[in-house]
């Protein structure tokens, strides 16, 4: 899709109303759903902002309607505020599966973040993995197997 011409003020908004409807969100899960459902991303697809307080935000930009005629703002609402209602009313809706997959991803990421790593130690051609949370005593006892 061609980019909008470089218009300013009212001329820009009049062009936008006549030609293209855009949707934007900072919600990554909603952006994933929109991309999965065939909503074309704008060019550039994101804007990144560093605010005066130093915090960053990323905003995703999509065409407001996909090739199937679905409205991006409706998909957004179903991914956020209306998600539970959608699941109760239409559990086979593709958005219910997208929401479930993203929720499962969150659970798995949380498990990864809360699982201590194993640190691999190699000595004399032997290897052993010890929890990074192991006590010094346990580490010493385990390293004797490397001798």
Segment 5-47, tens digit of pLDDT: 555 555 555 555 555 689 999 999 999 999 999 999 998 899 9
96: exposed, middle or buried (Cβ count in 10 Å: 0-12, 13-18, 19+):
middle
Q: Is the residue at 123 inside a domain?
A: yes
- Whether residues 91 and 60 share a domain: the answer is yes
- In 41-147, the DSSP E strands lie at 41-50, 56-63, 118-123, 126-131
> Tokens at residue 35, please?
């991309």
Question: Which DSSP helix (H) or strand (E) runs through 127?
Answer: strand 126-131
What is the model's pLDDT at position 31? 97
Q: Is the residue at 108 inside a domain?
A: no
Under DSSP, is residue 116 helix (H, G, I), strand (E, B) or coil?
A: coil
- Whether residues 78 and 135 share a domain: the answer is no
What is the model's pLDDT at position 1? 42
- Whether residues 122 and 72 share a domain: the answer is no
Residue-number span of the structural domain to which 124 is assigned = 117-147
- Whether residues 33 and 74 share a domain: the answer is yes
> Tokens at residue 111, please?
């498990």
Query: pLDDT tens for residues 68-81?
Result: 999 999 999 999 99
Under DSSP, is residue 124 helix (H, G, I), strand (E, B) or coil?
A: coil
Q: Is 147 in contact with 124 (CB distance < 8 Å)?
A: yes
Domain tally, the chain: 2
Q: Is the residue at 15 inside a domain?
A: yes
Is the pLDDT reported for residue 101 higher than 90?
Answer: yes
Q: Is the residue at 77 inside a domain?
A: yes
Q: Is the residue at 112 inside a domain?
A: no
What is the model's pLDDT at position 84? 95
| pTM greater than 0.75 (yes/no) | no
């Amino acid at each position: 899709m061609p980019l909008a011409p470089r218009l300013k003020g009212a001329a820009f908004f009049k062009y936008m109303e006549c030609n293209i409807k855009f949707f934007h969100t900072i919600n990554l899960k909603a952006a994933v759903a929109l991309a999965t459902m065939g909503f074309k991303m704008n060019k550039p697809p994101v804007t990144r902002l560093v605010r005066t307080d130093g915090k960053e935000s990323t905003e995703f930009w999509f065409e407001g309607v996909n090739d199937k005629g679905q409205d991006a703002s409706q998909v957004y609402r179903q991914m956020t505020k209306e998600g539970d209602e959608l699941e109760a009313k239409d559990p086979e809706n593709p958005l219910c599966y997208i929401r479930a997959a993203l929720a499962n991803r969150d659970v798995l990421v949380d498990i990864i973040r809360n699982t201590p790593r194993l640190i691999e130690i190699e000595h004399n051609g032997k290897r052993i993995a010890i929890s990074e949370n192991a006590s010094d005593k346990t580490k010493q006892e385990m390293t004797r197997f490397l001798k």
